[in-house]
Amino acid sequence: MSSVASSSRSASPENSKASPSSSDNENVHSTRNSQSPGPSNDDSPRTFASLGIIPELCQSCATLAFKAPTPIQVEAIPSALQGRDVIGLAQTGSGKTAAFSLPILQKLWENPQPFFALILAPTRELAYQISQQVTSLGSPLGVRTAVIVGGMDMMSQSIALSKRPHVIVATPGRLMDHLENTKGFSLKNVKFLVMDEADRLLDMDFGPIIDKILKVIPKERNTYLFSATMTTKVAKLQRASLNKPVRVEVATKYSTVSTLLQHYLLLPLKAKDTHLLYIVTELSSCSMIIFTRTVVDAQRLSIMLRRLGFPAIPLHGQMSQSLRLASLNKFKSGGRSILVATDVASRGLDIPLVDLVVNYDMPINSKDYVHRVGRTARAGRSGKSITMVTQYDVEILQRIEAHIGKKMENFAVDKEAVAAFSETVARANREAALEMRESGTGGGGGKRGRDKGKRKGWDDERDRDDDVVEGGMPAKRNKNKFTAGKGKKGR
């Protein structure tokens, strides 16, 4: 990066100066982009070059098969290149990561320096995904990134920070750990702060930690706040940390894409597992994510389906970080076609070619529903969702339909075929329960489970994932009860 970027600086008189302030950057880009920050009113096709992106980054976009900028990119990138703070509101799968990454990388090209940008994400998986995309987009620059999240070794992360990366992608809790405990590490030179999925960052009670982080980074910086929804907490954060921001919004508060076929399946509570097996059997050729509310159900259903010959794999907050990444990578690569997950997987993750989303448990609110079904029908592709609705969930279904402005279609099933699965499912569930007890997973007890609880790393600091809130994390002193929000926050 240094050789390429240094030649870029020598060719530009402005860049031969010392590090420009954010106002200097704004003046430079106001000259480059004489039009207003927003998109032009003409109907001509937009390209990344027309937004002001340099050829090297345009080539990166082409390499990643980004054929044309998405609406959020068209709206946000010109303003960001002019040095403005940005509030971006867009639905999941809209290309928000590139919308904030490209302007940062372009500024980094002009003025390369370590600890240039800090990107905060609510979950570990999203942090890794953002890092991968930043690294891919910044490959012509030789950009160095460091992922700082809970569940991983602090020492190796300290070593990564000592190498002075250009971009840090972090969850707030673990970043705060390093600020307090890693000698020589500070954020005093940060030029860009990004808060991705800001509504969820604040919903998960990261607020006090974010307040501390804001106090130790420079006030003279650019801030990008990207969120699916503008909540009162996000509005408060905007007032506290943004300077005359431009707000870009390309979606309504609750929206799903038109290429998504949405179905509901009304069934008695006691028959959920047999209906799930029917769905999986009928649509076995599909790649699918099955969402559950608790860790226990995610673990149990993945074992049950695997016992019945289906390639299922779990993903939830009680798994170690290495196992979580392994599960995600197996599913992404096609090694497993069924991912049984809690809401850890519902936000931000870009998993290509998911054909079907099954809501085994009804999401609590409409926002969670939109994010879950947003795992399919991405980037213009078609997809399908099936929400399992028991006699206790009808009101929630009606509320979700009202918010998304769309009626779901009934998913028809063969009742005789469903009934025929009863004995098979009962047997597989007994085997799954036995396996969970023996392995000590899912709070099942047993000697191995008790021993595992004493092993180093089992109680490792965890990011505050959604399944901690919903339930499924064992209380430290009660292995048989699952309570909401008992895990450590913010790691």
> Residue 464: what pLDDT?
47
Distances (CA, A) of 275 to 322, 424, 428, 429, 431: 32, 12, 14, 14, 19
The listed CATH number (3.30.365.10, 3.30.360.10, 2.170.120.12, 3.40.50.300) that belongs to domain 2-249: 3.40.50.300
pLDDT mean over 50-58: 96
pLDDT mean over 152-176: 96
Identify the CA nearest to 90 among candidates 255, 305, 317, 265: 255
pLDDT mean over 61-75: 92
> Residue 457: what pLDDT?
37
pLDDT digits (tens, 9 = 90+) for 446-464: 344 434 433 333 334 434 4
Tokens, residue 272: 């959920």
> Residue 380: what pLDDT?
66
pLDDT band for 473, please (50, 70, 90 cuts): very low
> Residue 239: what pLDDT?
84
> Residue 254: what pLDDT?
58
* Backbone angle region of 440, left / alpha / beta, with phi > 0 → left and psi within -120 to 50 → alpha: left
* Domain 260-481 part of CATH 3.40.50.300: yes
Q: What is the mean pLDDT of the chain?
A: 82
Tallying the residues shown for the chain, one arrives at 491
Three-state DSSP class for residue 463? coil
Question: Do 2-249 and 260-481 agree at the fold level?
Answer: yes
The model's pTM is 0.70
- Kindly state the greatest CA–CA separation across the chain: 77
The interaxial angle of helices 422-439 and 447-454, nearest 10 deg, is 50
**Per-domain residue ranges of the chain:** 2-249, 260-481
* Backbone angle region of 377, left / alpha / beta, with phi > 0 → left and psi within -120 to 50 → alpha: left
